[in-house]
Amino acid sequence: MEVGVCKIGVLPEISDISSTLLVLASIIIALIVFIRARNDQLRLQRWLKYSVLLFSFVLFFLGMTACNQPEVSLYHNLRAIVSVIGVVVLICLTVYVEKRKQSAILLIGTAGSGKTVLTWGLLKYLGEKYPDFCHGPDSDNRILSHEVEKSFSEGSEVDGTSGLNSNRISFSINLRSKEEFVIYDFGGESLAQYSPVSRERRISNLFKSMTLDINNAIKDGHLVKQLSHLIIKRSDIKHVVFLIKPDANGVYPHKDVLSTLQSNIQLVEELTMRTSQTLNSNVYSSEVKKYRPQAHRIRVHCLFTQYSNRNLNEMGKDQSVELLKEISPDLNRLVNQSGGTRQFVNFIRMDESSGTFEKDYYMVDTLGKTLMR
């Protein structure tokens, strides 16, 4: 009488070589499926299901064979089983990467905080750094560059972005990659109006919707709809960049920042779903609740802009952490929770003697690496 041996039906005996060949065949089939379907997202997801079924069958067959043959234990097939599981995980990760074809960067700040100049300067820098840099077909880059450079040539400040001239800048830094980066530059007034702070009880649109539609603007007292391409899918948002500008003496923050600070922080909290009782509250739709893990992966950064009048002797002293704590403990907490960064940044400065603007990069390389990863 044999003890500890499980005999389940009559299965053909297979050797270690046969089981290895079975696993290799499954891997080859999975690779062929991926190569043929990788350019078709829907087809890739459909074949992923078939691949999982195939690997499940292989695992079941190996397990039953081990039970049917006392001399072939599960231990001997552990390498094959781990290999199969590894391939499944690899395919799942590949599908996730292929699915994320757009990485949105949302700029948040009061009017005049430097969102438009930051966008223009970042594009200039990335174009110099990456040989494969190219603009998207529907990008507002030419319009933005024309307006910024025209203002600089005239020795005047760049006009602030309003609801009627918001920018959507799309680009890629690698021709072989399918990932496209998109920077959304909305007017400070539009951002404040979308998430107002008042004593009236309000239900944010972000509690129910998976899109961020800062799509209304006021012109001559009338409500005007903007272009639909300025509506953002929340699932595309990868970075939220909060900009704080200094006053005329270079002291942070400018008094205008405080006028919309709480409204902007409220918008960031709602976007990243960093509020209490997120999963239990009835104010959130079921679709938004499912999005919560991804919302928590959005990184919140804080930039202190217009740092051209810095003291060169103190460039090595990073006081951004203590400065943000002093300005807003809430925003500092959001940066910490999301794993974001704080830094001073500058792209351009005015030569007081000639009255012209000149390039003046400061911490731009660090910013570029942070947003492009």
Indicate the number of domains in the chain.
Answer: 2
Q: Look at residue 144 and tell me whether its pLDDT is greater than 70.
A: yes
| Mean of per-residue pLDDT scores for the chain | 75
Report yes or no on 265 lying in a domain.
Answer: yes
Does 293 lie in the same domain as 150?
A: yes
> Of the candidates 67, 82, 98, which is a domain's last residue?
98
Does 354 lie in the same domain as 263?
A: yes
Tokens 């174009």, residue?
Answer: 127
Does 61 lie in the same domain as 20?
A: yes
Per the CB < 8 A criterion, the answer to whether 306 and 346 are in contact is: yes
The closest alpha carbon to 251, from 326, 200, 199, belongs to 326
Does 48 lie in the same domain as 187?
A: no
Q: Look at residue 1 and tell me whether its pLDDT is greater than 50.
A: no
> Of the candidates 54, 71, 98, which is a domain's last residue?
98
Amino acid at site 50: Y
What is the 3 state secondary structure string of the chain?
CCCCCCCCCCCCCCCHHHHHHHHHHHHHHHHHHHHHHCCCHHHHHHHHHHHHHHHHHHHHHHHHHHHHCCCCCCCCCHHHHHHHHHHHHHHHHHHHHHHCCEEEEEEECCCCCCHHHHHHHHHHHHHHHCCCCEECCCCCHHHHHHHHHHHHHCCCCCCCCCHHHCEEEEEECCCCCCCEEEEEECCHHHHHHHCCCCCCCCCCHHHCCCEECCCEEEECCEEEECCHHHCEEHHHEEEEEEEECCCCCCCCCCHHHHHHHHHHHHHHHHHHCCCCCCCCCCCCCHHHHHHHHHHCCCEEEEEECCHHHCCHHHCCCCCHHHHHHHHCHHHHHHHHHHCCCEEECEEEEEECCCCEEEEEEECHHHHHHHHHC
CA 49 to chain centre: 27
Does 171 lie in the same domain as 120?
A: yes
Report yes or no on 2 lying in a domain.
Answer: no
For residue 332, the model assigns a pLDDT of: 94
Does 122 lie in the same domain as 57?
A: no
Report yes or no on 4 lying in a domain.
Answer: no
**What pLDDT, in 10s, does the model give residues 9-34?**
444 444 556 666 666 676 676 666 66
Give the separation between CA 124 and CA 144, rounded to whole angstroms.
Answer: 12
CA 154 to chain centre: 36
For residue 47, the model assigns a pLDDT of: 62
Amino acid at site 127: G
Report yes or no on 9 lying in a domain.
Answer: no
Which two structure tokens, joined as six digits, stand for 174?
A: 């690698």
Categorize the per-residue pLDDT at 238 as very low, low, confident or very high, splitting at 50, 70 and 90: very high
Q: Look at residue 299 and tell me whether its pLDDT is greater than 90.
A: yes
**What pLDDT, in 10s, does the model give residues 306-353?**
886 555 445 444 688 888 999 999 999 999 999 999 999 988 887 777
Report yes or no on 1 lying in a domain.
Answer: no
Domain residue limits at 175: 101-372
Report yes or no on 11 lying in a domain.
Answer: no
Does 313 lie in the same domain as 207?
A: yes
Report yes or no on 6 lying in a domain.
Answer: no
The residue-averaged pLDDT of 203-212 equals 84
Does 179 lie in the same domain as 39?
A: no
Pairwise pLDDT comparison (326 vs 50), residue with the higher score: 326
**What pLDDT, in 10s, does the model give residues 76-117?**
555 556 556 656 665 665 555 555 567 899 999 888 888 888
Q: Look at residue 152 and tell me whether its pLDDT is greater than 90.
A: no
Give the separation between CA 103 and CA 235, rounded to whole angstroms.
Answer: 9
Which two structure tokens, joined as six digits, stand for 229?
A: 């391409």
Does 332 lie in the same domain as 298?
A: yes
Does 357 lie in the same domain as 271?
A: yes
Pairwise pLDDT comparison (301 vs 158), residue with the higher score: 301
Give the separation between CA 280 and CA 265, rounded to whole angstroms.
Answer: 22
Per the CB < 8 A criterion, the answer to whether 33 and 95 are in contact is: no
**What pLDDT, in 10s, does the model give residues 58-73?**
666 665 555 555 554 5
Report yes or no on 10 lying in a domain.
Answer: no
Does 46 lie in the same domain as 124?
A: no
Between 8-17, 124-133, 193-202, 227-236, the lowest mean confidence (pLDDT) is in 8-17
For residue 203, the model assigns a pLDDT of: 75
Which two structure tokens, joined as six digits, stand for 198?
A: 């008042």
> Of the candidates 55, 78, 98, which is a domain's last residue?
98
Does 363 lie in the same domain as 229?
A: yes
- pTM metric for this prediction: 0.72
Q: What is the CATH number of the domain that holds 170?
A: 3.40.50.300
Give the separation between CA 372 and CA 335, rounded to whole angstroms.
Answer: 18
